[in-house]
Structure 1
Amino acid sequence: MLLGYNVGTEYYKGYKPSFYRLQDKGESGKLKELLSQTPAIQIYDTIESQLSELAKINNPQKQLTSNEVTDFINEYRNGAPLDECGVWVYYPWSQKLVHLLDEEDFIQVRTSRNNYKIKPEELQILRKKKIGIIGLSVGQSIALTIATERVCNELHLADFDTVELANMNRLSNCNVYNLGASKAIITAQKIAELDPYLIVTCFSEGITESNIDAFLGEGSTQLDILVEECDSIDVKILSRIKAREKKIPVVMDTNDRGMLDVERFDLEPERPIFHGNLKEDIDLTRLKDLTNKEKLPMLDAMVNLSALSERMKYSLSEMGKSINTWPQLASSVMLGGAMVTDTCRRILLSETTSSGRYYIDFSELIK
């Protein structure tokens, strides 16, 4: 090991940034202490540029002069130094300290170019919503697209797995120094670096019978949508049964032929899972011991193997021979991120009420 030192996974356990508002003397003192104890800290301060953006967004009907922007910033400061405007956000995993607008102004500026594709009143509805994502290989693209578009205010992320080199054919937001790190933690860190005000909770042990209720939540903490993207058949079944009990809709992307599955258990609480294609009297404890060949009939019920692309069918025939798992392409995963995000937004805004299975197959659409 180079220099006998290995950062390892300890470096990646944290995913929540720290906030320091310098107008509070206690927090100001804590930040000074952090700076004195962290000589390698990197500081990024573009608060004046962010305030300039805020000024222009709040005055869309006129082209502000530089003097008018300065007047806006001075009025915003109200006599306080620029250092005390907004909030300083510290990311301990990268030792970066960033000066940002505080929450309301930050969200206004960051989402300003969503208007009116997402109306201001719709943004306020979405700010009360919670989405859970199980499986963060395919799910990472979905989580980051949801966060970027700010389709919700809170995310639950679940995956027991760590980043491997072979995963990086489709994890576009992972770097080689993320190898060995929790997929859930890495995804949460990326979201915090995009928008530190989004509330993220990680279940880095994955989903089990003992924590599924905590993941889905109860009452005011309950998820509004479950996005299921895991490989484990037992978790696929368990999560749907539990989501149906709690009347939570389930959305799934299979990243082959652009297949998207929607199960509106919120509107149809008696709806059979997987559209009735799978028998529900299954011993979940036995599923973990099944071979890939024994799992195929269940996979057929879940995704309709006959409707898979020819290349995916061939890939399945090669599992255990020339490959050890099914392939996934980055382009398909990115498409899934877009499809699931758009569908979740429309479900949350009551723009769509249907259950079903849908395809956006590029090979059919673009001959």
Structure 2
Amino acid sequence: MTYSPVFYRASGSGEKDALLALLRENPAIKVYDELHGQLKELIKSRHPTRVLSAEETEAAIAAHLAGRPEEDYGVWVYYPWSERLVHLLDEEEFIAMRTSRNIYKIKVEERDLLIRKKIGVIGLSVGQTIALTLAMERIGGELRLADFDDLELSNMNRIRTSVHNLGVPKVISAAREIAELDPFIKVKCYTDGATEENLQDFLTGGGQLDLLVEECDSLNVKILSRIRAKALRMPVVMEMNDRGMLDIERYDLEPDYPMMHGLIPDIDMETLSNLTTEQKVPILGPMVGGEAMSSRMKYSLTQIGKTITAWPQLASSVMLGGGMVADTCRRILLDELKVSGRFYVDFEQLIK
């Protein structure tokens, strides 16, 4: 399933003809051309000390276009999955305008550094909100997403998507949302999830990740991903969706740091793979902070397989986790945060 947009630069050799042919051959395509408004915003951003009149703004736009037809300026972006064609400023101006309201909370030089970073997200339930928040804040110019599940109706209690995406792989749905938000962010999808066979490619293919966000349910992948990340001296961030628990492991700064703070037992992957789900529970419990879980989460876990079928998650916790992880990733990548450990943003304790 496609998740990458197609770019047409009408000023480029042959691309305008290709764009016109696309429109002729696909009359159902919906065209969205709000470039003039983007140009107004661009001109406004370049004159922060005074308000230009309408006439001054139009004159400045004409000077900026330098005789080029507006329809040939910028880039036309085609989204095949929705048959939409959108006229946008091209990459440099687009990024400048889309991030303009981040300045100076994120400085221009910091934004430009973050654009060069690669981030991987394993698990696209909590991870979907994390990936979208990273994209919105433009933390990372390349995102790699791994999950093997398709979207189900019960996922929509915490995954922000549309009902027409039911049955679509979670990674594809997330990648399409990112492309519709910012088509210039590179996204690579692993629809088989993170596996022993593809994990090395996920972490290093096309350049090593600068940071790994691990949000999967599989105990095997939790451990294996850390074994590989530690060998590569790669930081790992995880959010547990209960009591605002955030987990940071800085293998980049401390190569000998114990995996998940020493909570992973000394067990080889072959033995682990042969354990039953029941046998894995005592191993998983300490790793996910079982003793510190909220009372409601502890009770919920006793009901799995009895009155409920899966680990419960709430949208409010997922949204909090997306913000916490994105903020943490930004500060790690900007070398502002250097700690490993577990941290809690527990609303029930903070607000009462």
Give the TM-score normalised by the residue count of structure 1: 0.94
Count of residues in Structure 1 that have an aligned counterpart in Structure 2: 352
Report matched runs for 1:196-345 at 5 Å: 196-217=183-204, 221-284=207-270, 286-287=272-273, 289-291=275-277, 293-345=278-330
Match of 1:40 among 24, 28, 52: 28
Match for residue 10 of structure 1?
A: none
User: Identity of aligned pairs, percent?
Assistant: 56
Name the Cα RMSD after superposition. 1.1
Letter in 2 for 1:364: Q
- Which of 151, 159, 173 lines up with 2:139 in the alignment? 151
Among candidates 3, 28, 52, match of residue 40 of structure 2:
52
For 1:54, the aligned partner's letter is: L
Distance in structure 1 (CA, Å) of the matches to 2:304 and 2:294? 16
Counterpart amino acid of residue 299 in structure 2:
Y
- Alignment match, 1:363: 348
**Aligned to 2:14, what secondary structure does the other structure show?**
helix
Q: Of 35, 51, 73, which aligns to 1:85?
A: 73
Instruction: Structure 1 unaligned segments of length 5 or more: list them.
Output: 1-12
Query: What stretches of structure 2 of length at least 5 have no aligned partner?
Result: none
Which AA in structure 2 matches 1:192?
A
* Maintained 8 Å contact 1:142/1:336: yes
Instruction: Give the conservation status (yes or no) of the 8 Å contact 2:38–2:89.
Output: yes
1:212 partner amino acid: L
SS at match of 2:237: strand
Kindly provide the CA deviation profile for residues 257-309 of structure 1, in whole angstroms up to 9, marking residues without a partner as x: 00000000100111111101121323346436512x32221122212211000
For residues 101-153 of structure 1, the C-alpha deviation after alignment (integer angstroms, 9 at most, x for no partner) is: 00000000000000101011111111110100000011000000000000111
Contact 2:223–2:264 (8 Å) recurs in 1? no
Match of 1:21 in 2: 9
Take 1:70 and 1:97, find their aligned partners in 2: how far apart are those partners?
A: 25
Q: Report 1:51-130 matches (<5 A).
A: 51-130=39-118
Look up the match of 2:182: 195
Counterpart contact for 1:133–1:155, Cα < 8 Å: yes
Q: Is the 8 A contact 1:234 1:288 kept in 2?
A: no
TM-score by length of 2: 0.98
1:165 pairs with 2:150? no
Matched to 1:184, the amino acid is: V
Structure 1 residue runs of 4 or more that deviate by more than 2 Å after TM superposition: 280-289
Please tell me whether the aligned partners of residues 158 and 205 of structure 1 are also in contact (alpha carbons under 8 angstroms).
yes
For residue 25 of structure 1, report the CA deviation from its aligned partner: 3.5
**Which amino acid counterpart does residue 315 of structure 1 have in structure 2?**
S
